[in-house]
Chain A
Amino acid sequence: MLGVKPGASEEEIKRAYRQQAKKWHPDQYLHTPQHDVAVEKMKEINAAYDALTGKNTGTGGPNPNGPGYGYGYSAGSQGAEFSQKQRARMFIQSHRYKEAEEILSKLTERDAEWHFLISCVYAASGRYDSARVHLQQAVEMDPNNPEYRMNWQRFSSQGNNYRKWTMGTQGANPFCQMGPGSAGQNDAMCRVLQCMMFASLCRGGAGLGCFPYLFCC
């Protein structure tokens, strides 16, 4: 993928990685048909680089396929002394979100990178709404950062793409005849009866079509 020979030095790998990353960075292909290809390529390049340098060993961690984040570009993580933010970033890369959140919550300086990192943590732990807010904040504070912009674009379009895809493929109406009840009239009757019984049992006679909802509100 990176085009380096076996046994290449770290410098060579790094150079090759930068070259490839520059070539395939998805930001260059924004609004062009090659964008998806570039995103895929970039992922492969990152994976190859990580494999060669032995980084990201934590892929067996808790959320290996969690909301995908970060096409590398770990800005300045080669520095000798790691700042707290870089530590948080490393924790995120190795899927240790709890630790990352702990570090981030202690920081008082809330710049664009902070918002970006906390949004990574939130997205991975299922708090999608907060993740979105913080990611948006990061993009607003630093609109020129390709990392934030790319993730923002991906994050905000994923659900929409899914919607378009699913709602586009299905032609017929999924709402008529839902549930196994419609397999035969007897079954439908049975279902309705059960429904009524339970509904009156626990809700004081909710409507027929209304299933007994649990717990909520």
Chain B
Amino acid sequence: MFGYLMPAESELSEQDRRVFRAAYCGVCFEMGRVARMGLQFDCAFLALARNSVEQPAPCCRRNCRVRWFFRKVDCAQGEQMQYAADVNTLLVYYKLLDDVRDSGSLKAKLAVRLIKREYRQAAQRHREMDSMISAQLQKLHALENEKSTDVDACADCFAVLLQLVAAPGGDRNGPLGRMFYNVGRWIYVIDALSDWEKDRMSGSFNVFGHYRDLEQARAAASFSLWFTLSEAARAYEMLFPNEAAKPVLDNVMYVSMPARTAYVLGEIDKNGQPVTKGGGENQSV
């Protein structure tokens, strides 16, 4: 995914940091050698959120596979970690395919070659999810090809993807499914907004691309972002995560994501200080 779903470390206690790290390392441990390079915090969050409605995952100390010469790390174990690892592998594979289609660069082609074996293994374990992801992305790609300006439609593709990844099967409208639907929607919108300038330069597609300047795009996205986030938080309140995962999930939902939103909307700067625009509005931060 995008690296948007990560806790704000400075607000976490040592213990909670360890919980998130264990989930991260647990997912990392389960991944294949190539796909591991595309590991994202989002998938650690996914594993933690999916695991949070059950008992806390057991931890064990293992050699870190990336820095095996270095030291041992805490790894969370369990099928959720395996699941999140497979999700990550699939997403990385499709991302690389996307790159090949867009740029056709040699590097991307090579990477697809390298990751193909691990992708096949993951896809074999989750056939339905694999076809679902590729269907949603195709839908998104079709929308992008026709230069859609419909934020709802574009964001919906990605939102449904995350929803079905987080809550496969019948419970897609449970708290977890609705939470991840809104999270996915938020990710799509915020990613489009933060890439606005870059996309303008390179001339690639952006849902907000038809706005003339960034301020207009921000104004158009502001309602959507905050409302989506509040809906995600509403769904999250129905989730009742276990004791261990709660502080971390709380942190992501109530601190990290809002801060990221405010930052991308230009309300606060990188240091978390409110940005004063000419009119001198000092918002309550």
Contacts and interface: CB of A to CB of B under 8 A. Distances in A.
Q: Do A and B come from one complex?
A: yes
Interface of A: 62-67, 122, 126-130, 132, 155-156, 158-164, 166-170, 172-180, 182-183, 186-187, 190, 194, 197-198, 200-204, 211-217
Interface of B is mostly: helix
A167 B67 contact: no
Contact of B256 (A169, A178, A200): A178
A215 B91 CA distance: 9
B10 A211 contact: no
A172 B10 contact: yes
Which of A62, A122, A166, A198 has the most chain B CB atoms inside 10 A of its CB?
A166
A155 B91 CA distance: 34
Which of A129, A172, A177, A194 has the most chain B CB atoms inside 10 A of its CB?
A129
| Nearest 7 A/B pairs, CB to CB | A173-B272, A159-B226, A174-B8, A211-B3, A162-B230, A159-B227, A166-B258
B2 A216 contact: yes
A190 B67 contact: yes
Nearest to A170: B255
B142 interface: no
Given A129-B152, A178-B8, A183-B17, A198 B94 contact: no
A162 B67 CA distance: 41
Interface in B105-121: 105, 107-108, 111
Interface residues of B, number: 89
Contacts of A130: 152
B270 A214 contact: no
A109 B267 CA distance: 42
B41 A65 contact: no
Contacts of B70: 186
A147 B227 CA distance: 20
Nearest to B36: A194
Contact of A174 (B39, B95, B137, B255): B255
B233 A214 contact: no
A207 B58 CA distance: 36
B244 to A, nearest CB: 16
Nearest to B153: A127
Interface string B87-108: 0000110111011000001011
Interface of A is mostly: helix
B95 A194 contact: no
B178 interface: yes
B6 A179 contact: yes
B230 A215 contact: no
A127 B9 contact: no
Nearest to B114: A201
Contacts of A162: 226, 229-230, 233, 258
Interface stretch (B49-57, B77-85, B191-199): B191-199
Nearest to B205: A217
Contacts of B11: 170, 172, 174
Interface of B: 1-3, 6-11, 17, 20-21, 24, 36-41, 44, 66-67, 70-71, 91-92, 94-96, 98-99, 105, 107-108, 111, 137, 140, 144, 151-153, 155-156, 158-159, 173, 178, 181-182, 185, 188, 191-192, 195, 199, 204-207, 223-231, 233-235, 238, 254-256, 258-259, 261-263, 267-268, 270-273, 283-285
B95 A180 contact: no
Contacts of A201: 37, 107, 111
Given A129-B152, A180-B24, A214-B95, A174 B256 contact: yes
Contact of B178 (A65, A180, A190, A215): A65
Given A163-B229, A180-B17, A200-B107, 14 more contacts: A126-B185, A167-B285, A173-B259, A174-B11, A174-B272, A175-B259, A176-B272, A180-B20, A180-B44, A194-B39, A212-B40, A212-B95, A214-B91, A216-B191
B10 A177 contact: yes
B33 to A, nearest CB: 12
Nearest to B73: A187
A179 B227 CA distance: 25
Contacts of A211: 2-3, 40
Contacts of A200: 107
B159 A126 contact: yes
A59 B21 CA distance: 39
Contacts of B185: 126, 128
B254 A166 contact: yes
Contacts of B204: 217
Contacts of A178: 6-9, 256
